[in-house]
Amino acid sequence: MKREAVLRSAELFSVRGDLAAAAAAVNGDARRALALAKTLVRVPRPGEGHTMQLFDTLSTLGAADLTAARVAEAHLDALAILHQAGHAPRPDQTWGVFAAEGPEMPLTATRVDGGWRLDGIKPWCSLAGLLSHALVTAHVARPHGDPGRQLFAVDLGQPGITVHEDIWVARGLSQVLSGPVDFTAVTADAVGDDGWYLRRPGFSWGGVGVAAVWWGGAVGLARTLYDSTQGRAPDQIALALLGAVDLAVTGAQTALAAAASAIDAGEADDAAGSLLAARVRGIVARTVEDVIFQIGHALGPAPLALDARHAQRVADLQLYVRQHHAERDDAVLGRMLVTRGSAPW
C-alpha cells in the first residue's frame, strides 16, 4: 500500500494525462499554478528511490504549461529541502526558494533574542507577493574571514517585507513576478547551519529538476511540430527538422533518466553531483535552444503570431532556460573536468 501511494504522481492526479490537463488549465495564471502545486503532496522527493517519477511529473507539467511547472518545481524543491533539514511545513503553505545574489545591498542575517533577523535586498524573488513562505539565503558573519551563507525560513506575510513587482516586464512567465524584495528587521528561522544549503547532496539535484521542466517545455514544442506533419505530407526539410528535434529531445531524456538513476544509487553526491548537474543542465539547455531554432525554421511565423499557446510556450521557455548561464556554465563545467586531473571519457 505504501509503495502505491508513493508511485502516484499527485494526490488528485493518478494518471499522467489528468496532471497534464490540470497544468494546461493553469494557462499562465500564477494563482492557479499555486493551487495546483499544493495538491502535489505525493510526488516523491529526489534521492529516495523514485527520482525519475519526480522528473516525469515536472516534465509533464512543463510540456503542458510552463507557469504551472515553474511554480510547482520551486514549491516541491522547497519541501524537499525542508524535509532534509527535518522541518515539516503545513499542507496549506506555499513555498519558494530565494537564493540568488545581486549587486545591491546583500541580505544579511543577525542573531537577535535567540532568533534571527534579516535585513537587506534579495533579487529574483519569484512570486514573493503570492507565496505564504520562502526559503531565503542570507549572509552571516563568521569569526574570521568572509561571511558565510545560511538558509532561513521566512513567513512572507509579516511586516518589514516590501515586494517590488512593477519592474517585471517579461513577456515570458509574465505572471511569475520575480522582482527584488526589501527585508527590514524580518524574523526568520534557521534551516540548517552556515553553509548547509550549498553542501547538502540535494543542492545539485534541484538543478536537475529544473532541467526536467525545461525538457518538458521542449517536448511541448516538439509535439506542435509533429502535429504539423499530420495535416499534410511534410517535405524533406520538414522531415529533416523533425528528425533533428527528435535526436535532441531523446538525447536529453536519456541524460535525465541516467541522472535520476545516479541520484537514487547514491552516485551523485558532492563533486559527482555537481558534475552531473552541470552536464545535464547543459545538455537540456542546448536541447531547448536547438528545438526553438528548428521549430522556428520548420513552422515559420504562423504559430508565433496566431497560436497563443505556442507563442506563450516559446516566450516562457526562452526566459526560463536563461537560468542556465550558457558559455559561463560551460566554463564552470570545463573547470570541473580539468580539476579531475584525467580525461572523463
Q: Is the dihedral of CA 93, 187, 70, 250 positive or negative?
A: negative
Q: What whole-number distance in Å separates Cα of residue 57 and Cα of residue 43?
A: 8
Would residue 85 count as lying in a domain?
Answer: yes
pTM here is: 0.94
Q: Give the per-residue pLDDT at 17.
A: 83
Residues in CB range of 213: below 8 A, 6 or more apart: 58, 59, 61, 62, 66, 69, 70, 73, 320
Would residue 108 count as lying in a domain?
Answer: yes
Q: Give the per-residue pLDDT at 117.
A: 97
pLDDT in tens, 268-291: 999 999 999 999 999 999 999 999
Average per-residue pLDDT for the chain: 94
Which residues are paired to 291 by β-bridges? Answer: none
Helix, strand, coil: what percent of the chain each, to 5?
Answer: 55, 15, 30
Check which CATH number belongs to the domain holding 107 and give it: 2.40.110.10
Q: Are residues 223 and 169 in the same domain?
A: no
DSSP H/E element including 161: strand 161-163
* Residue 131: closest CA among 100, 150, 151, 154: 154
Q: Are residues 184 and 111 in the same domain?
A: yes
Q: Are residues 103 and 80 in the same domain?
A: no
Q: Are residues 162 and 142 in the same domain?
A: yes
Q: Are residues 58 and 121 in the same domain?
A: no
- pLDDT band, very low/low/confident/very high, at 24 (cuts 50, 70, 90): very high
Q: What whole-number distance in Å separates Cα of residue 196 and Cα of residue 99?
A: 13
- Flag the least confident range among 11-25, 83-97, 168-182, 329-343: 11-25
Residues in CB range of 212: below 8 A, 6 or more apart: 54, 55, 56, 58, 59, 62, 256, 284
Q: Are residues 174 and 206 in the same domain?
A: no
Length of the chain: 345
Q: Are residues 227 and 295 in the same domain?
A: yes
- The SS3 of residue 186 is strand
By CB atoms closer than 10 A (0-12, 13-18, 19+), residue 338 is: exposed
Given 54, 72, 93, which residue is the final one in a domain?
Answer: 93
- Flag the least confident range among 144-158, 311-325, 326-340: 144-158
Would residue 206 count as lying in a domain?
Answer: yes
Q: Give the per-residue pLDDT at 6.
A: 45
pLDDT in tens, 124-160: 999 999 999 999 999 998 877 788 999 999 999 999 9
Given 149, 166, 191, which residue is the final one in a domain?
Answer: 191
pLDDT in tens, 219-264: 999 999 999 999 889 999 999 999 999 999 999 999 999 999 999 9
Q: Give the per-residue pLDDT at 2.
A: 40
Given a cut of 70, whether residue 77 has pLDDT beyond it is yes
Q: Are residues 248 and 163 in the same domain?
A: no
Enclosing domain of residue 321: 200-340
Given a cut of 80, whether residue 189 has pLDDT beyond it is yes
C-alpha cell at 235: 517535405
Check which CATH number belongs to the domain holding 272 and give it: 1.20.140.10
* Residue 9: closest CA among 34, 38, 43, 33: 43
- Flag the least confident range among 2-11, 165-174, 331-340: 2-11
More confident: 141 or 31:
31
By CB atoms closer than 10 A (0-12, 13-18, 19+), residue 108 is: middle
CA distances (Å), 123 to each of 67, 137, 165, 326, 335, in order? 20, 11, 11, 20, 27
Q: Give the per-residue pLDDT at 102.
A: 85
Fill in the amino acid letter for 199: R
Q: Give the per-residue pLDDT at 231.
A: 84
Q: Are residues 158 and 184 in the same domain?
A: yes
Mean pLDDT over 293-300 rounds to 98
Q: In this structure, are residues 110 and 132 in contact, taking their beta carbons and an 8 Å threshold?
A: no
C-alpha cell at 210: 529544473
Phi, psi of 80 (to 5 degrees): -65, -40
Q: Are residues 16 and 82 in the same domain?
A: yes
Would residue 345 count as lying in a domain?
Answer: no
Q: What whole-number distance in Å separates Cα of residue 31 and Cα of residue 212?
A: 22
C-alpha cell at 335: 573547470
Given 93, 120, 143, which residue is the final one in a domain?
Answer: 93
C-alpha cell at 156: 512572507
Q: Give the per-residue pLDDT at 104.
A: 76
Q: Give the per-residue pLDDT at 14.
A: 53
Number of domains in the chain: 3
